[in-house]
């Protein structure tokens, strides 16, 4: 029964997928309960909700057929700390009276289960986030046009291009790196055969957290804007700063970072860098670290294709290009970095897909 939602409650963001049926017959319309209609109208007529909710219109997947119904898939997000407002809204719109199943994944599905019940009288079907992630990826890759892409000449601004990659014909095996607040790295061998290889706590949450502390910014977009204007080499100590050039014996080029934030050991240098430089350095440090760990995992698991997802990469071409370059360079061309357009929404899609599951 409508409405069809998929919810992914993460550490920092809540991702909400809404399936808007476009094939509603006149009869159906007549029978449609008021609350359902109002929800549908509210969601589809706005692109922003309250102060912090956003619908990523450019990601909308239209002309989709799901369980015999034609419609569009909408991608909505808002900060996890606004969840109470969301629940309040749910109550105001009498969402619970619709008696639909609400499939939810992510840590918040467990953490806020009680809140859903008490504040909005809603019962959640809790799903494992990694199961949902993989199902979501596989579904979107096969449904959306040119979902998967990679970079050619990532570090050359003149010649850099995005090229489509056909992942759906042969998706396995692949290394899936989900960069949210934290990072999870999964080795996926088939739809039902995957394992979480490892994770790291140096993720998107770290980038945002450190940036806020170092520069006084307060949103992800602000942090990224600052980073795009900064120069991290003023903050980091490079190989050439220590050795005068490269350290050939060990294959370390002079431009490689020897010590992130290493120049900040000196007071003089600390006083001379800008907030933008610090933001950039934070971005580069976190991104390169994820790249390193990913690379080692790929080698250990013997997998050559790495797909990066997660909202850390949202509007973050800087990080994507860095990852693309680093993976290629340090693996001497053996590994390939792939990206997906719907970045951080796959968990929610996977949750939505569970609606068809009779249990």
Partner 1 sequence: MALSGGTDRVSHSMDKSITLPPDEIFRNLENAKRFAIDIGGSLTKLAYYSTVQHKVAKVRSFDHSANVSLQETDGDHLYEISVQEEITARLHFIKFENAYIETCLDFIKDHLVNTETKVIKATGGGAYKFKDLIEKKLKLKVDKEDEMTCLIKGCNFVLKNIPHEAFVYAKHADSEFRFQNTHPDIFPYLLVNIGSGVSIIKVESEDRFERIGGSSIGGGTFWGLGALLTKTKRFDELLNLASKGHHTNVDMLVKDIYGGAYGSLGLTGDLIASSFGKSATTNKEFSKEDMAKSLLHMISNDIGQLACLYAKLHNLNRVYFGGFFIRGHPVTMHTITYSINFFTKGEVQALFLRHEGYLGAIGAFLKGAEEDNPNQYSWGENYAGSSGLMSVSPEMNPVQRARSGTFDMLEMDRLERQLVNLPLLQDPSSYIPDTVDLSEDALAREYWLYCFEEALDGVVKRAVASQRDQPEAVERAEKFRQKYCHKLQTLRHQPFAYGSLTVRSLLDTREHCLNEFNFPDPYSKIKQKENDMALKYYQKVVRSVEELNWEQRQFTLVKGLLAGNVFDWGAKAVSDVLESDPEFGFEQAKQQLQERPWLVDAYNQWIERLKGPPHKCALFFVDNSGIDIILGVFPFVRELLIRGTEVRQQYYWLGPRYMFY
274 near partner 1, judged by CB under 8 A = no
Which of 124, 134, 227, 278 is in the footprint of partner 1 by CB under 8 A? 278
50 near partner 1, judged by CB under 8 A = no
| Candidate ranges 5-13, 25-33, 146-154, 338-346; the one touching partner 1 (CB under 8 A) | 5-13
Q: How far is the CB of 264 from partner 1 (least distance, A)?
A: 3
In the set 20, 129, 147, 354, the catalytic residue is 129
Is there a catalytic annotation at residue 304?
Answer: no
CA–CA gap between residue 172 and residue 305 (Å, rounded): 9
Which of 89, 123, 264, 318 is in the footprint of partner 1 by CB under 8 A? 264
CA–CA gap between residue 82 and residue 117 (Å, rounded): 17
Going by C-alpha positions, the residue among 219, 196, 230 that lies closest to residue 311 is: 219
Helices 275-301 and 204-215 cross at an angle (nearest 10°) of 160
Residue 274: helix, strand or coil by DSSP?
coil
Q: How far is the CB of 193 from partner 1 (least distance, A)?
A: 16
Strands 102-105 and 4-9: parallel
289 near partner 1, judged by CB under 8 A = yes
Which of 89, 225, 258, 318 is in the footprint of partner 1 by CB under 8 A? 258
CA–CA gap between residue 354 and residue 7 (Å, rounded): 11
| Candidate ranges 16-24, 83-91, 132-140, 281-289; the one touching partner 1 (CB under 8 A) | 281-289
Helix then strand then coil, % of the chain, to nearest 5: 45, 25, 30
CA–CA gap between residue 257 and residue 272 (Å, rounded): 19
Half-sphere exposure of residue 329, counting CA atoms within 13 Å on the CB side?
A: 17
167 near partner 1, judged by CB under 8 A = no
Which of 2, 8, 12, 90 is in the footprint of partner 1 by CB under 8 A? 12
| Candidate ranges 42-50, 70-78, 92-100, 200-208; the one touching partner 1 (CB under 8 A) | 200-208
Dihedral of alpha carbons 30, 32, 34, 36, sign: negative
Cβ–Cβ < 8 Å for 105, 52: no
- The smaller minimum CB distance to partner 1, of residues 38 and 292, is found at 292
Show the binding pattern over residues 105-124: x = contacts partner 1 (CB under 8 A), - = does not.
-xxx-xxxx-----------
Per CB under 8 A, which of residues 311..350 are in contact with partner 1? Answer: none
- The DSSP symbol for 32 reads -
Which of 24, 89, 296, 318 is in the footprint of partner 1 by CB under 8 A? 296
Q: How far is the CB of 67 from partner 1 (least distance, A)?
A: 27
- The DSSP symbol for 304 reads -
Cβ–Cβ < 8 Å for 346, 137: yes
- The DSSP symbol for 333 reads T
Q: Which residues are identified as catalytic?
A: 129
Residues of the shown chain interacting with partner 1 in the complex, contacts defined by CB under 8 A:
10-12, 79, 81, 106-108, 110-113, 128, 130, 181-182, 196, 198, 200-206, 208-214, 218, 235-237, 242, 249-250, 252, 256-265, 267, 270, 278, 285, 288-289, 292-293, 296-297, 299-300
């Amino acid at each position: 029964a409508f409405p069809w939602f998929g919810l992914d409650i993460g550490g920092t963001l809540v991702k909400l997928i809404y399936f808007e049926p476009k094939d509603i017959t006149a009869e159906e319309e007549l029978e449609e309960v008021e609350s359902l209609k109002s929800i549908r109208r509210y969601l589809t007529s706005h692109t922003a909700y309250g102060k912090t909710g956003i619908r990523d219109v450019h990601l909308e997947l239209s002309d989709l057929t799901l369980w015999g119904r034609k419609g569009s898939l909408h991608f909505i997000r808002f900060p996890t700390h606004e969840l109470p407002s969301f629940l309040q809204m749910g109550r105001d719109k009498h969402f619970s009276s619709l008696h639909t199943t609400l499939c939810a994944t992510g840590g918040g599905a467990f953490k806020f289960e009680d809140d859903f019940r008490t504040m909005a009288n809603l019962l959640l079907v809790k799903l494992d986030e990694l199961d949902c992630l993989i199902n979501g990826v596989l579904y979107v890759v096969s449904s959306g046009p040119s979902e998967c892409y990679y970079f050619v000449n990532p570090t050359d601004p003149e010649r850099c291009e995005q090229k489509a990659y056909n992942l759906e014909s042969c998706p396995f095996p692949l290394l899936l790196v989900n960069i949210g607040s934290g990072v999870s790295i999964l080795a996926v061998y088939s739809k039902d055969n995957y394992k979480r290889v490892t994770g790291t706590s140096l993720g998107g949450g770290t980038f945002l957290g450190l940036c806020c502390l170092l520069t006084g910014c307060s949103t992800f977009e602000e942090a990224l804007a600052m980073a795009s204007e900064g120069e991290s080499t003023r903050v980091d100590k490079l190989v050439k700063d220590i050795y005068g050039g490269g350290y050939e014996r060990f294959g370390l080029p002079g431009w490689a970072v020897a010590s992130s934030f290493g120049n900040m050991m000196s007071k003089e240098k600390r006083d001379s860098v800008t907030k933008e430089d610090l933001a950039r350095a934070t971005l580069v440090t976190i991104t390169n670290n994820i790249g390193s760990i990913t690379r080692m995992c790929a080698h250990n698991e013997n997998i050559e294709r790495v797909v990066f997802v997660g909202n850390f990469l949202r509007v973050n071409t800087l990080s994507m290009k860095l990852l693309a370059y680093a993976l290629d360079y340090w693996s001497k061309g053996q590994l390939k970095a792939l990206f997906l357009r719907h970045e951080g929404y796959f968990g929610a899609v996977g949750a939505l897909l569970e609606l068809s599951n009779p249990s």
